[in-house]
């Protein structure tokens, strides 16, 4: 009986010692499993050691800066997410939750340099007044030719009833309307460019919004600008602008009129 008690006591002591051996390493890491993580950062392409290092514990919010040599040391939990960054490089995120438990880890993340892709931008130089007026003239001539061809096609139909139907059908009307809108939209763009580049003494007084409103006014009387020379067109725009500013003075620019 005495021998059994001694054996039992010895077994309990051995079991306690085994438990302490297993638990002690965990206690050494702290109650929340804190470990030490240290190392440095390198350029992935060249392998060069990086300086201006910052390590942020994204989980806890703690952070540390690297030394002048680029080395870092931070205390964290294994499950925490760490963000490693350096000036001019993309950040890298690391977690040690799946690593073998140990008190200290040496981590050397590899960072890539920033790569910025810039889309190609085409810059069109501002044109001279002559080039703008030539395009205006070609635009008007092209639209007039379209109108003449459309009218001739309608007149060539043998049946007068078919000709009337062709002119009034929804499909033909839609086609004409689309061509008309394309013509006017392009003409507005060219007129605004012409006004901006010509620097006439009246149009120079207009703001951006006023220019748009004045161009809409010009387009309403588009037929008046047909077949004008460059000089005649500029003189007409300047005169029309002065008249437009005085008519009701909607944009309160009369006081700026010269």
Most confident region among 1-5, 157-161, 166-170, 219-223 by mean pLDDT? 219-223
pLDDT tens digit sequence for 127-186: 788 888 888 888 888 888 888 877 776 665 545 555 555 555 667 777 788 888 888 889
Residue 158, pLDDT score: 46
Length of the chain: 258
3-class secondary structure, 37: strand
State the average pLDDT for the chain.
77
| Residue 103 confidence (pLDDT) above 50 | yes
CB–CB of 35/105 below 8 Å? yes
Tell me the domains of the chain and their CATH numbers: 32-111 (2.60.40.1120), 129-256 (no CATH)
Residue 257, pLDDT score: 43
Interhelix angle 230-246/208-220, rounded to 10 degrees, is 110
Lowest mean pLDDT among 65-74, 92-101, 249-258: 249-258
| Residue 244 confidence (pLDDT) above 70 | yes
| Residue 7 confidence (pLDDT) above 70 | no
Question: Would you tell me how many other CB atoms lie within 10 Å of the CB of residue 233?
Answer: 21
In whole angstroms, give the CA distance from residue 215 to residue 206. 11
Residue 256: band (very low, low, confident or very high) from pLDDT cuts 50, 70, 90: very low
pLDDT tens digit sequence for 13-55: 665 555 544 544 544 444 457 899 999 999 999 999 998 899 9
Residue 72, pLDDT score: 95
Residue 251, pLDDT score: 46
What does residue 85 show for φ and ψ, rounded to 5 degrees?
Answer: -145, 155
pTM of the predicted structure, to 2 decimals: 0.44
3-class secondary structure, 117: coil
Consecutive H or E run containing 56: strand 53-57
CB–CB of 76/61 below 8 Å? no
Q: For residue 54, which of 98, 79, 88 has the smallest C-alpha distance?
A: 88
């Amino acid at each position: 009986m005495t021998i059994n008690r001694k054996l039992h006591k010895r077994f309990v002591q051995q079991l306690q010692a085994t438990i302490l051996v297993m638990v002690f390493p965990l206690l050494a890491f702290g109650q929340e499993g804190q470990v030490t993580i240290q190392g440095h950062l390198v350029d992935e392409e060249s392998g060069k050691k990086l300086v201006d290092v910052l390590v942020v514990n994204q989980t806890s919010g703690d952070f540390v800066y690297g030394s002048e040599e680029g080395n870092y040391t931070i205390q964290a939990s294994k499950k925490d997410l760490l963000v490693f960054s350096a000036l001019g490089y993309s950040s890298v995120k690391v977690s040690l939750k799946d690593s073998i438990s140990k008190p200290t880890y040496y981590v050397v993340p590899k960072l890539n340099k920033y790569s910025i892709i810039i889309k190609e931008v085409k810059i069109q130089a501002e044109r001279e007044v002559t080039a703008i007026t030539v395009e205006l003239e070609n635009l008007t001539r092209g639209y007039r030719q379209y109108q003449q061809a459309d009218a001739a096609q309608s007149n060539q139909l043998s049946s007068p009833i078919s000709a009337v139907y062709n002119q009034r059908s929804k499909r033909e009307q839609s086609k004409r309307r689309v061509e008309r809108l394309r013509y006017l939209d392009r003409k507005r763009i060219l007129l605004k460019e012409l006004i901006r580049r010509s620097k006439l003494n009246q149009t120079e007084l207009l703001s951006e919004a006023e220019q748009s409103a004045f161009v809409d006014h010009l387009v309403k009387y588009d037929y008046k600008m047909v077949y004008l020379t460059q000089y005649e067109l500029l003189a007409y725009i300047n005169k029309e602008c002065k008249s437009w500013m005085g008519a009701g003075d909607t944009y309160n620019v009369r006081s700026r009129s010269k």
